[in-house]
Amino acid sequence: MTDEALHRAHELAAAWLEELRERPVRAAGDPAGLRGPLPERGEEPAAVLDALAAAAEPGLVASAGPRYFGFVTGGALPAALGADWLTSAWDQNAGLHAMSPAAATAESTVLAWCKELLGLPQTAGGGIVTGAQMANVTALAAARHAVLARAGWDVEARGLAGAPALRVIVSDESHATVFNALRLLGLGRDTPVRIPTDEQGRMRADALVAELAGATLPTIVCAQAGNVNTGAFDPLEQIVAACRAHGAWCHIDGAFGLWAAAAPTRAQLAAGASGADSWAVDAHKWLNVPYDSALAFVADRAPLNAAMALTAAYLTTAGERERNGADWSPEASRRARAFPLYAALRQLGRSGVAELVERTCTLAAHIADRLAAEPGVTVLNDVVLNQALVRFEDDDAATDAVIARVQEEGTCWLGGTRWHGVAAMRISVSGWQTTEADADRSADAIAAAWRAVATG
Ligand SMILES: Cc1ncc(COP(=O)(O)O)c(C=O)c1O
């Protein structure tokens, strides 16, 4: 029975991957077949898969394909996708070494490899989580532990009621998930001090220094490597130095941007990042590991372990060379996400990661240049990474209309945003399959949509 189901899954997956490149990128419609009552009787596994695939089909988006430029979205590298299947077949619980020495060892290995690629200290502790949202939670939990411990307070044991006040500093451009992380950690979504940013969305280091100068409270600073709109990096060298000088914890949200450190032509953008105290980075975005996959790193392993460690009489403790994943991330039982990560990193190698980052940055600039050559089109940002912001006729309605038209036409998909108060099209090139031909085809489709909107 299992064999038949897996063969059917393979056929269905192969058919999907076969047409991924050419099907309209947007969803075709409403996956109405997925609604319905709970069946009374069970069904044959292979028939269930057929029914699921048929019902899901209209609601599937070709977001793993080569011309999806929405949000910041990677595809699934073949080795990572295959390893993801094996992860389900093996069905390992990565929470404890005793439950899967293979998952635990793969975790240690991929954490070490990623630290090397990202230029982070090899001594840093790390955890594998679902996304940069949870990586921010994980790293900031370690930050919360450390700054309150320095103030003589054990936040894990005593909670926040009655704790010494602490101060969180973010920027006007910090990602929404940083605020969610602060909210989940009891630090408050609306309480952080917001440092103003420059025209590219970079935190102004001078304003941070001025803010820190008056600091007496335990302080956590949240910096960013890769603005979700412009791709710009906060001035990390200056921010890290300011944090050092004032005893503040420096966290870097590098959901996609931190991978720039792995690419020689872009690494300069991330200069200084290695001196921070903690980092959040996704693998399901630019590294093209299938959802879900991200990493949290903390330079000093102790606060991470203090914030996350899981203890109970029946649980086994890890030996000296062993790793209990549950001691380094918020979840206990969980999927062995290290296997697809391991496979992605082996498929690419160090040079492949660099090539992926460099190619996608080049293609983002290529699309931006092609569009900038069209009358009435303005590129709003310096395209330093894989993100471009485009505006049409300096008009919100025209820009929104072009975005809607491109989405409907289906050659490619990209979303909208607001940048400095005006509407903009957001182009993010993050997929491993995207070629120059895809970039040109997409630029043609966007230009055609623009001409159609302009001529009414
Ligand atoms: C800078 C930044 N931080 C955090 C996130 C959240 O990542 P995820 O959706 O993987 O949790 C994103 C997503 O785009 C991001 O760009």
Q: Which residues pair with 126 in a beta bridge?
A: 297
What residue owns the CA closest to ligand 1's atom 14? 72
Q: Which tens digit of pLDDT belongs to each residue from 363-413? A: 999 999 999 999 999 999 999 999 999 999 999 999 999 999 999 999 999
3-class DSSP state for residue 280? Answer: strand
What value does the mean pLDDT take over residues 126-139? 98
- Reported as type and span, the H/E element at residue 253 is strand 249-253
Q: Do residues 294 and 283 make contact, with C-beta atoms less than 8 angstroms apart?
A: yes
HSE, CB side, 13 Å, CA atoms: give it for residue 267: 13
Say how many Å lie between the CA of residue 131 and the centre of ligand 1. 7
pLDDT at 216: 84
What residue owns the CA closest to ligand 1's atom 16? 228
pLDDT at 438: 98
Q: Which tens digit of pLDDT belongs to each residue from 287-319? A: 999 999 999 999 999 999 999 999 877 777 777
CA distance 368 to 417: 16
Q: Which tens digit of pLDDT belongs to each residue from 417-435? A: 999 999 999 999 999 999 9
What value does the mean pLDDT take over residues 109-134? 98
- Report the pocket of ligand 1 as residue ranges, CB < 6 Å: 71-72, 131-133, 175, 177, 224, 226, 228, 253, 255-256, 282, 294
Exposed / middle / buried, residue 184 (Cβ in 10 Å: 0-12, 13-18, 19+):
middle
Say how many Å lie between the CA of residue 176 and the centre of ligand 1. 8
Mutate to test the pocket of ligand 1, among 71, 228, 233, 291 (most ligand atoms within 8 A of CB): 228
Render 288-335 in DSSP notation, one character per residue. -PPSS-EEEEESSHHHHHHHH----TTSPPP-TT---GGGSSS-SS--
- Reported as type and span, the H/E element at residue 220 is strand 219-224
pLDDT at 170: 98
Say how many Å lie between the CA of residue 181 and the centre of ligand 1. 11
What value does the mean pLDDT take over residues 179-184? 98
Q: Which tens digit of pLDDT belongs to each residue from 202-221? A: 999 999 999 999 778 999 99
Q: Which residues pair with 298 in a beta bridge?
A: 125, 278
Q: Which atom of ligand 1 is nearest to the CA of 136?
A: 4
What is the sign of the dihedral through the CA atoms of 380, 405, 441 and 375? negative
pLDDT at 446: 98
CA distance 87 to 119: 28
What value does the mean pLDDT take over residues 123-144? 98
What value does the mean pLDDT take over residues 77-84? 98
**Mean pLDDT, the chain, as a whole number?**
97
Q: Estimate to the nearest angstrom the gap between the alpha carbon of 81 and the chain centroid.
A: 17
Say how many Å lie between the CA of residue 198 and the centre of ligand 1. 21
pLDDT at 413: 98
CA distance 388 to 217: 38
pLDDT at 103: 98
CA distance 342 to 163: 41
Say how many Å lie between the CA of residue 62 and the centre of ligand 1. 20
Token pair for 2: 């299992």
pLDDT band at 360 (very low <50, low <70, confident <90, very high): very high
Q: Greater confidence, 316 or 441? A: 441
Across 103-164, the runs of DSSP E, i.e. the strands, are 125-129
- Token look-up 């900031």 returns 140
Q: Which tens digit of pLDDT belongs to each residue from 229-269? A: 999 999 999 999 999 999 999 999 999 999 999 999 999 99
ω into residue 84 within 30 of 0, thus cis? no
What residue owns the CA closest to ligand 1's atom 7? 132
What residue owns the CA closest to ligand 1's atom 15? 255
pLDDT band at 321 (very low <50, low <70, confident <90, very high): confident
Say how many Å lie between the CA of residue 46 and the centre of ligand 1. 36
Say how many Å lie between the CA of residue 69 and the centre of ligand 1. 15
Mutate to test the pocket of ligand 1, among 175, 179, 203, 287 (most ligand atoms within 8 A of CB): 175
pLDDT at 315: 75
Q: Do residues 325 and 113 make contact, with C-beta atoms less than 8 angstroms apart?
A: no
Q: Which atom of ligand 1 is nearest to the CA of 285?
A: 10
Say how many Å lie between the CA of residue 246 and the centre of ligand 1. 28
Q: Do residues 356 and 364 make contact, with C-beta atoms less than 8 angstroms apart?
A: no
Say how many Å lie between the CA of residue 133 and the centre of ligand 1. 6
> Is residue 166 pLDDT above 80, yes or no?
yes
